[in-house]
Structure 1
Amino acid sequence: MGAGGMDLDLEFAPRDAAAHPPALAPIYRSTLLRAPRQPLLSLRSTLTEITGPIFGESELDPIDADLTRNHARDGDPIGERITLHGRVLDGDARAVPGVLVEIWQANAGGRYRHTNDSFTAAIDPNFGGCGRVITDAEGRYRFRTIRPGPYPFPNRENDWRPAHIHYSVFGQGFSQRLITQSYFEGDPLIARDAILGTMPDVAARQRLVATLDMEASAPFEALAWRFDIVLRGRGASRFESVA
């Protein structure tokens, strides 16, 4: 056993860069403008980046993980209520406790609560579209929310994003952050999505799809969807391109 109780004889599985979306992918038009043209530089992390932040339960409101309540003003948000849950794991399927998981999403009509979102769908005054939670001792997280709607985006002539939810997962420092998104099993728009289509590995795309979990669903209340996040190893969730 190594420091911190880690097994030093475990096989190290390096990240497969070929499975991640390339910075430049013509099918996703905006990468033509923002993909780097010069080789990337590797910069040393500062002490702040590798030692903070440290998140505690006391910093979160009890309803931060309930998107059906945390922005409600004078009623309930519109749309299908769902439970979104899963575990944060490392490459050897061990739980990663105490990490901050944040999500943000469009409302049931496919509209973000953002000044730059010009989609004609209505803003829901009772839905903010964001939440956060800290994983428990078993690496579990759980959100109650509204199933987001698809929306068009300016790419090809008639491109629509499938319903999806964005995630930010913080590790033990600012430099340890995963930004990704999950889709919903059975959505026919997944196969047509230009952004997801930038990923060359079909199996890696499938790992971004949340699966219907009837056992965790609440009868007469909400269906449940499960999405496990793997931080490192062969089964790792893909990083969203930030180039």
Structure 2
Amino acid sequence: MRWTIPAALAATLSAGVALAQPLSPTPRDVEGPYYPDILPADSDNDLTVIRGKQSAARGRRIRLEGRVVDRAARPLSGVRIELWQTDAGGRYIHSGDPLRAERDPAFQGFGAALTDEQGRYAFRTVVPAGYASRPPHFHLRLLRGERALLVTQLYLPRRSGERGIGPGRLSLREAAQTVRLEPAAADALVGHFDFVLDRSAE
């Protein structure tokens, strides 16, 4: 089931994007080994429900939304955003995940969204679990047609007492890759993140 952009997002711009020029491009980050080796048949922007299944994914819900703009804050439409992540138990849908048998069968694990004329995108998913030395994070790839414009990772805000980059935080510009969280109704979260692309990448 495809999930539409909420009216609240449609009516507002994400904080800060339209105010400063030029904007700094969103940092690149490693793709990692768990981009799905077999894409799911249902790969829309709602990762909490798989078409044809009765049950929904386990875990706390998060709505990840924002815009894709260039360095002059102009919206970029028609950009495909791919998102892949762990489920609430820290498992990927990739066949190489050593504990894949324990993954949530009701979680889609991968989804895609297309930016609209104002550069807006939205996903509905669950808060990803960390694993080994890695904190909770989202993997994302932005494409124009078949051309990758950006591969990066987004992090959730640090928990109290968490310090340093460490082996699990790969980016030296982590602050520019952190999702801004807000509480929402019914034990859910809203995460805001605006991607800034250099037009030379197009």
TM-score, normalisation: structure 1:
0.60
Which of 175, 190, 194 aligns to 1:224? It is 190
Shift of 1:128: 2.2
The aligned residue for residue 68 of structure 2 is 88
1:102–1:132: 8 Å Cα contact kept in structure 2?
A: yes
The aligned residue for residue 196 of structure 1 is 169
- Name whichever of 111-120 and 61-70 sits farther off: 61-70
2:49–2:108: 8 Å Cα contact kept in structure 1?
A: no
Please, what is the CA RMSD of the aligned residues? 3.4
* Runs of 5+ consecutive residues of structure 2 not aligned to the other structure: 1-20, 34-40
Show CA shifts across 1:174-215 (max 9, x none): 34421111000134657344253453xxxx32111101134x
Q: Which runs of 4+ in 1 moved over 4 A?
A: 11-15, 19-22
Letter in 1 for 2:95: T
Query: Whose Rg is larger?
Result: 1
| Alignment pair present for 1:144 and 2:124 | yes
Letter in 1 for 2:121: Y
**How many residue pairs align between the two structures?**
170
Which of 112, 119, 142 aligns to 1:132? It is 112
- Name whichever of 220-229 and 131-140 sits farther off: 220-229
1:72–1:125: 8 Å Cα contact kept in structure 2?
A: no
TM-score, normalisation: structure 2:
0.71
1:119–1:151: 8 Å Cα contact kept in structure 2?
A: no
Report the structure, 1 or 2, having the larger strand content. Answer: 2
Distance 1:190 1:137 in 2: 39
| Alignment pair present for 1:117 and 2:97 | yes
* Runs of 5+ consecutive residues of structure 1 not aligned to the other structure: 1-10, 23-29, 31-60, 153-159, 234-243
Report the structure, 1 or 2, having the larger helix content. Answer: 1
The aligned residue for residue 139 of structure 2 is 166
Name the CA shift for 1:21/1:124 in 2 (closer, same or farther; >3 Å).
closer
Distance 2:192 2:163 in 1: 17
Name the CA shift for 1:72/1:181 in 2 (closer, same or farther; >3 Å).
farther
Letter in 1 for 2:174: R
The aligned residue for residue 108 of structure 1 is 88
Show CA shifts across 1:14-57 (max 9, x none): 98xxx8679xxxxxxx9xxxxxxxxxxxxxxxxxxxxxxxxxxx
Name the CA shift for 1:63/1:75 in 2 (closer, same or farther; >3 Å).
same
The aligned residue for residue 152 of structure 2 is 180
Name the CA shift for 1:137/1:194 in 2 (closer, same or farther; >3 Å).
same
